[in-house]
């Protein structure tokens, strides 16, 4: 299941940063820790990251969060920033760490690896992401069905992240490509209300959770000839 970095002994952890629309919304990363039996520190600080693509708004939010973090570090405290999954994969941590280093280059930042949602989802669903020389790609579904359609010919398995806004369009594409039987939907993996749906057509018209993804395998994908352990790319057709 997704892991969050626990506080180390003698440290005062900052509560998780959160990509949310409202500051009063609950932190999903913190809920993972609490389900694991760890108590929330009384002096925890919540950092709010708005869910927006506005670069200016995001930059201000990251700067504000970094300033709060640097101020706490200046008090001589050790801090832990919680994330869902892995801090190096589609996580807010990278933005925060970068700005903190800019403001306070002397700060030591350690990253504790976790389990990415797509890896946890594959394990929960009993899906192998890649074997031997097979290829695997991770892509936010927001790139659109045309890009997804192209990548289905380039990779044996796709992990389509944040699939909620394009769920119906993706299902239509998978139906056209005859890949429904080798696709599986996973929602809130590792949580008590985790959901795995193998008949993805039943999800058409449903408002799925933001924390959801699709694993799609294309067993009919044409592969090139292997050369020293790697496959040659297919020649482009004129």
Low-confidence ranges of the chain (pLDDT < 50): 1-21
- 72-108 per-residue burial string, b: 16 or more CB within 10 A, e: under 16: bbeeeeebbbbbbbbbebbbbbebbbebbeeeeeeee
Residue 141 near residue 212 (C-beta atoms within 8 A) = no
Single out the residue of 181, 2, 217 nearest to residue 90, CA to CA.
Answer: 2
pLDDT of 21 reads 42
**What confidence score (pLDDT) does residue 29 get?**
82
> Is 43 in a helix, a strand, or coil?
coil
Tokens of 140: 């936010």
Residue range 215-231, pLDDT digits in tens: 999 998 887 776 666 66
Q: Of 84, 111, 117, which Cα lies nearest the Cα of 98?
A: 111
Domains and their CATH numbers in the chain: 17-103 (no CATH), 117-217 (3.30.950.10)
């Amino acid at each position: 299941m997704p892991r969050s970095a626990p506080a180390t002994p003698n440290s005062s952890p900052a509560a998780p940063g959160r990509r949310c629309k409202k500051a009063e919304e609950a932190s999903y990363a913190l809920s993972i820790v609490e389900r694991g039996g760890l108590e929330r520190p009384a002096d925890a600080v919540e950092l709010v990251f708005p869910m927006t693509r506005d670069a200016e708004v995001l930059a201000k939010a990251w700067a504000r969060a970094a300033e709060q973090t640097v101020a706490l570090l200046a008090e001589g405290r050790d801090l832990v920033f919680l994330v869902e999954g892995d801090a190096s994969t589609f996580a807010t941590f990278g933005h925060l760490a970068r700005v903190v280093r800019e403001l306070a280059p002397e700060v030591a930042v350690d990253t504790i690896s976790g389990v990415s949602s797509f890896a946890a989802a594959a394990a929960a669903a009993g899906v192998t992401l890649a074997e031997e020389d097979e290829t695997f790609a991770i892509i936010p579904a927001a790139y659109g069905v045309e890009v997804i359609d192209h990548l289905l010919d380039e990779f044996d398995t796709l992990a389509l992240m944040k699939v909620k806004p394009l769920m119906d369009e993706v299902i239509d594409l998978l139906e056209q490509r005859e890949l429904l039987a080798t696709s599986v939907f996973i929602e809130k993996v590792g949580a008590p209300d985790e959901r795995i749906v193998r008949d993805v057509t039943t999800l058409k018209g449903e408002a799925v959770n933001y924390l959801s993804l699709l694993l799609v395998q294309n067993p009919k994908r044409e592969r090139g000839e292997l050369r020293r352990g790697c496959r040659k790319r297919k020649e482009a057709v004129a």
